[in-house]
């Protein structure tokens, strides 16, 4: 009976050591364990909806701004018609309208510039996400460690979106593990903030 117990314990020990060596080799990439054991394949992390992006909040603000400009233009047209019909103090009223129209044109130009900046930023985020994915993880971490937290978050979310579209696992969970624990915790905390708080913190960090 004692011999059987010894043999059983020895077999259990051998099995445990074998699994530990297999897991370690899979972890460092020497072998591809997920091909042998599919349950080891990495799962895509939960994707936070785009409405959590600070830039999405900006996009909504642009739309609201555009709507306000349309309302102002409609009001100007209404006032012009009233002045033409009444013919009272027309010169002064038309001067006021010309000044208002100039203000609206200035606002529209500013809005167009902001929207172009937003589109340029989205393009840059997409390019950086592709660059990070194609770099060795350690090199990518070295490049990203001096970025603002919200820049890191935007690039990682773009990586998640691209990986989901291609049907591949995202590398963002692994990239996060390369950052120091305090920085990793801070980035994770900011990713979970409500959109308005994210927008306020992002503006403060850019000043």
3-state secondary structure of 41: coil
The pLDDT of residue 199: 55
Tell me: do 100 and 17 sit in the same domain. no
Which residues, 6 or more positions from 65, have their beta carbon under 8 angstroms from its beta carbon? 107, 111
What percent of the chain is modeled with pLDDT above 90? 27
Establish if 205 belongs to a structural domain: no
What percent of the chain is modeled with pLDDT above 70? 68
Tell me: do 146 and 174 sit in the same domain. yes
Tell me: do 172 and 159 sit in the same domain. yes
Tell me: do 1 and 92 sit in the same domain. no
Establish if 202 belongs to a structural domain: no
Establish if 201 belongs to a structural domain: no
Predicted confidence (pLDDT) per residue in 105-134, tens digit: 888 888 888 888 888 888 999 999 999 999
Establish if 125 belongs to a structural domain: yes
pLDDT (mean) for 70-80: 83
Tell me: do 33 and 53 sit in the same domain. no
Predicted confidence (pLDDT) per residue in 161-204, tens digit: 999 999 999 999 999 999 999 999 999 888 887 755 555 555 55
Cβ pair 57, 196 in contact under 8 A: yes
The pLDDT of residue 171: 92
Torsional sign, CA 71, 73, 76, 82:
negative
3-state secondary structure of 168: coil
Tell me: do 78 and 11 sit in the same domain. no
Would you place residue 75 in the very low, low, confident or very high pLDDT band (cuts 50, 70, 90)? confident
Predicted confidence (pLDDT) per residue in 24-64, tens digit: 556 665 566 555 555 555 554 444 444 444 566 777 777 88
Domain of residue 146: give its range: 42-195
Mean pLDDT of the chain: 77
Number of domains in the chain: 2
Angle, nearest 10°, between helix axes 149-166 and 195-206? 130
Tell me: do 181 and 152 sit in the same domain. yes
Mean pLDDT: which of 26-40, 89-103, 142-156 is highest?
A: 142-156
Establish if 203 belongs to a structural domain: no
């Amino acid at each position: 009976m004692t011999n059987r117990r010894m043999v059983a314990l020895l077999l259990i020990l051998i099995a445990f050591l074998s699994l530990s060596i297999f897991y370690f080799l899979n972890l460092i990439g020497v072998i591809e364990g997920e091909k042998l054991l599919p349950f080891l394949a990495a799962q895509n992390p939960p994707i936070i909806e785009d409405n959590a992006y600070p830039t999405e909040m900006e996009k909504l603000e642009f739309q609201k701004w555009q709507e306000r400009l349309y309302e102002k233009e409609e009001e100007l047209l209404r006032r012009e018609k009233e002045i033409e019909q009444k013919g009272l103090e027309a010169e002064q009223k038309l001067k006021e309208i010309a000044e208002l129209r100039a203000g609206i044109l200035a606002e529209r130009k500013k809005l167009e510039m902001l929207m172009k900046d937003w589109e340029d930023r989205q393009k840059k985020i997409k390019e950086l996400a592709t660059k990070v994915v194609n770099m060795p993880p350690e090199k990518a971490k070295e490049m990203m460690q001096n970025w603002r937290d919200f820049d890191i978050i935007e690039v990682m979310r773009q990586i998640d979106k691209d990986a989901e579209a291609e049907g591949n696992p995202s590398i963002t969970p692994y990239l996060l593990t390369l950052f120091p624990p305090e920085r990793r915790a801070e980035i994770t905390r900011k990713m979970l903030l409500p959109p308005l708080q994210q927008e306020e913190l992002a503006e403060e960090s850019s000043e």
